[in-house]
Amino acid sequence: MINDKTIAWTVDRNVDNLTFSTEILEAAEHIKQNRVIAFPTETVYGLGGNAESDEAINLIFQAKGRPSDNPLIVHIASEDQVERYVEEIPNKAKALMDAFWPGPLTIVFRHNGTLSTKVTAGLETVAIRMPDHPVALAIIEAAGRPVAAPSANRSGRPSPTTAAHVHEDLSGRIAGIVDGGKTGVGVESTVVDCTSQDVMILRPGGLTREAIEQAVGKVLVDPALTEIDQAPRSPGMKYTHYAPTAPLILVEGDRDFFCEQIDDAKASGKKVGALVTDDCHGLTTAHKEVRIGPRADLSTVAQQLYPALRSFAKNEVDVIFAQVFPESDLGSAIMNRLRKAAGGMIIHQHENK
Ligand code: TXA
Ligand code: MG
């Protein structure tokens, strides 16, 4: 069922004993009743429902318009919940949990059949994470259940980093939205597969490969993330995502080359938008420039990326240009999202790239 009214709660993330606040208890009650509500995590807002209820999971898929072959992440509030749902906790997974939970890391385990097959989309594995956000943790604790939560956007839209973004996409389609302020990281969690000997990154995200390697040594990266003809191991990675309202074109080259692409598009009569780092601000001829932070400060760029992609209204511009980033640290997640938003459209200054 689609709700006519979406309740709006506001919660101060800094108050003590959040688990017992009226707003959290109300929101958690909806989860207990198998309805779905949105809440902040440290990465992006999630759309949460009881992971043990097919009814709740159906509502999540309906509200988002999400393909049912794309499994959900199960969110927990304490490490000991993991063993209820998995066949085993491999040593490397345990090391990652100890090092990075709560935090922006989702771990894929072999499941033991306890959870709904709707959550896992019929796979033999389940993705689990403990978010590092007091509001998310309080809701999961108060609900007393594992909470399945994809990002709280309509499928194909940029993930929400504020409650206002969730309202834009899901008002009237879900029971409620808990506003706990802006999220911190700005891109989703890193998804790693721990079911084989070597840990493999299936989706780059808020926790960097470099940090993961410090905890468990060399990790693999799903080849499908860089090679177009490979099927990704994480089902969600095959869909076009994060689409802004106009085509996005990535530009690999220096600042002058970037500015030239914008000049050329304008000369051909297009209304042009641009995502610009601070060093380019005011230098392009774009009709609308949206700043995404200092080029060297990838944490800020990650925080600004989705709001920037959302900031172009329908028909406001005909095309949006953005420069590429180096693919290390948070740059891997930023470039993964930019490439998907651009649907592969990239212009290289030097032909041989
Ligand atoms: O930061 C995040 O992870 C946010 C917040 C709300 O926690 N959630 C999120 O969920 O990004 P979602 O549903 O938008 O993305 C989940 C990703 C998808 O790419 C999905 O295919 C993958 O995780 N996934 C889920 N279960 C999986 C599994 N068993 N094996 C491989 N990939 C899986
Ligand atoms: Mg998502």
Residue of 191, 195, 330 to test ligand 1 pocket, by largest number of atoms within 8 Å of CB: 191
Q: What is the pLDDT of residue 172?
A: 96
pLDDT value at 194 more than 50: yes
Q: Which atom of ligand 1 lies at the shortest distance from residue 73's CA?
A: 25
Q: Do both 271 and 171 map to the same domain?
A: no
Q: How confident is the model at residue 234 (pLDDT cuts 50, 70, 90)?
A: confident
Residue of 118, 153, 185, 234 to test ligand 1 pocket, by largest number of atoms within 8 Å of CB: 234
The whole domain housing 266 covers 248-352
Residue 191 lies in a domain: no
**Dist. CA 272 → ligand 1 center (Å):** 33
CATH classification at residue 286: 3.40.50.11030
Q: Do both 252 and 173 map to the same domain?
A: no
Q: Do both 262 and 175 map to the same domain?
A: no
**Residue where a domain terminates, one of 169, 186, 203:** 186
Residue 232 lies in a domain: no
Q: Do both 271 and 144 map to the same domain?
A: no
Residue 17 lies in a domain: yes
Residue 148 lies in a domain: yes
**Dist. CA 4 → ligand 1 center (Å):** 28
Q: What is the pLDDT of residue 232?
A: 76
Q: Give per-residue pLDDT as tens, 134-189.
A: 999 999 999 999 999 999 999 989 999 999 999 999 999 999 999 999 999 999 99
**Concatenated DSSP letters of 154-195:** -TTSPPPSSHHHHHHHHTTTSSEEEE----SS-SPPEEEE-S
Paired tokens of 212: 């993961």
Q: Do both 123 and 17 map to the same domain?
A: yes
Residue 221 lies in a domain: no
Q: Do both 128 and 257 map to the same domain?
A: no
Residue 84 φ/ψ region, left for φ over 0, alpha for ψ in the -120 to 50 degree band, beta for the rest: alpha
Q: How confident is the model at residue 314 (pLDDT cuts 50, 70, 90)?
A: confident
Single-letter amino acid, residue 59: L
Contact status, residue 274 vs residue 322, Cβ threshold 8 Å: yes
Give percent of the chain above pLDDT 70. Answer: 96
Peptide bond into 102 cis (omega under 30): yes
| Shortest-distance ligand to the CA of residue 187 | 1
Residue 312 lies in a domain: yes
Q: Whose CA is nearest to atom 10 of ligand 1?
A: 150
Tell me how far apart the alpha carbons of residues 309 and 242 are, in angstroms, rounded to a whole number.
8
Q: Give per-residue pLDDT as tens, 277-301.
A: 999 999 999 999 999 999 999 999 9
Q: How confident is the model at residue 352 (pLDDT cuts 50, 70, 90)?
A: low
